[in-house]
Amino acid sequence: MTMTAPAPPAAAPKARKRILTGDRPTGERHVGHYVGTLANRVRLQDEYDTFLLVADHHMMTTRLTGLEEIEHNIRATVLGNLAVGIDPERTTIYLQSQVPEVAEIFLYFAMMVTVPRAQRIPTLKEQMRDLRIAHPSYGLLGYPILQAADILCVKGDLVPVGQDQRSHIELTREIARDFNDRFGPVFPVPEPLIPELGMLPGTDGGTKMGNSIGNVIDLFDDAKTVERKVMGMYTDPNRIRATDPGKVEGNPVFVYHDFFNPDRAEVEDLKERYRTGRVGDVEVKKRLAVALNAFLDPIRERRDALLRDPRIVEEVIATGTARARAEAQRTLREMRAAMKLDYFGA
Ligand code: ATP
Ligand code: MG
């Protein structure tokens, strides 16, 4: 007689992979941030266990003035993320400076990385050049090591970054492997997740929209401001009259249309007429302002709804930081035990 074997116990659900992503609180979130990170982040939170770091300590790597602005910028950063659809139930939003364990983890990692290795990060030279820093501080040199502490304190598996940050993630991977080899297996070796998202030019035609450049359209600009900024946008500099054939490729107004105007037929029609000198800049821009405002309306509405609770940002940060801190404390305990530093009850 055959017996029916008892059903095997249901397999434990596979833990979702963890993503660590972050923002330096540089100010308002703008439509460039949306294109480069926010939209992707909103998609990823469905699939992954997402941690979103607000990296206020990182602000000090390049600037020790204007620190009084950081608090405002933290609020703007968090509110921008919430307004585009980051859900604090699914995404743990936390403040770097309120997880002091990160600083201790950074200290241990700093002992493992040689000075020439830290100097070999290409973004260091770029930042020094762009910001006219003659001699990097010890903190700026250590910026990618602090980033490794950010990622590894919550044991991130995946890190969505731009191509320019690949070298930072490579250093994080080296640190994770090095730690595991020296002391025992504590860390996953995280992978970069590098989507091809493109760069949104500034309203001034510069290659990158950026707060520090002042060529931005903020996610929270009101409709009139958006219209004014769009009407002042840079287009094809060689085109003088509406009857001149114009250049569409690389023309910021059309780059924006491609990103933000869902009416593809309208965009193709405008491009065709622009190329053949049958539409003026004013019409192209007016239609862009309409499309951008339609895109921004739900974001502005969500912000207004969120702000009905005036303490929303503080609450989101407090909850997320408590969660992230518990993770960092556990990681640090594991590290100390692996390193045989768990003396006196540590
Ligand atoms: P800013 O450069 O505006 O002063 P920021 O320092 O917050 O502000 P970055 O640190 O340069 O901005 O970028 C933060 C993230 O947003 C990065 O992943 C970057 O790729 C993305 N990002 C910023 N600006 C743009 C843009 N104009 N187009 C696409 N992605 C962008
Ligand atoms: Mg920047």
pLDDT per residue, tens digit, the chain (346 aa), is: 445 555 555 555 558 999 999 999 999 999 999 999 999 999 999 999 999 999 999 999 999 999 999 999 999 999 999 999 999 999 999 999 999 999 999 999 999 999 999 999 999 999 999 899 999 999 999 999 999 999 999 999 999 998 888 999 999 999 999 999 999 999 999 999 998 888 899 999 999 999 989 999 999 999 999 999 999 999 998 898 989 999 999 999 999 999 999 999 999 999 999 999 999 999 999 999 999 999 999 999 999 999 999 999 999 999 999 999 999 999 999 999 999 999 988 7
Token digits of residue 204: 């001034």
Residues of the chain with CATH 3.40.50.620: 18-200+310-345
Q: Of 333, 345, 319, which is closest to residue 78 (Cα–Cα)?
A: 319
Dihedral sign, Cα of residue 54, residue 315, residue 41, residue 107: positive
Determine the residue of 21, 24, 29, 37 to mutate for testing ligand 1's pocket, defined as the one with the most ligand atoms within 8 A of the Cβ atom: 37
Residues of the chain with CATH 1.10.240.10: 223-302
Q: Which ligand is nearest to the CA of 130?
A: 2
Any idea which residue has 């909103």 for tokens?
42
What CATH number was assigned to the domain covering residues 18-200+310-345? 3.40.50.620
CB 33 less than 6 A from any atom of ligand 1: yes
Burial of 80 (0-12, 13-18, 19+ CB in 10 A): buried
Homologous superfamily of the 223-302 domain (CATH): Tyrosyl-Transfer RNA Synthetase (1.10.240.10)
Query: Residue length, the chain?
Result: 346
CB 162 less than 6 A from any atom of ligand 1: yes
Query: Which residues make beta-bridge pairs with 54?
Result: 23, 95
Predicted model pTM: 0.93
CB 26 less than 6 A from any atom of ligand 1: yes
Determine the residue of 23, 33, 74, 194 to mutate for testing ligand 1's pocket, defined as the one with the most ligand atoms within 8 A of the Cβ atom: 33
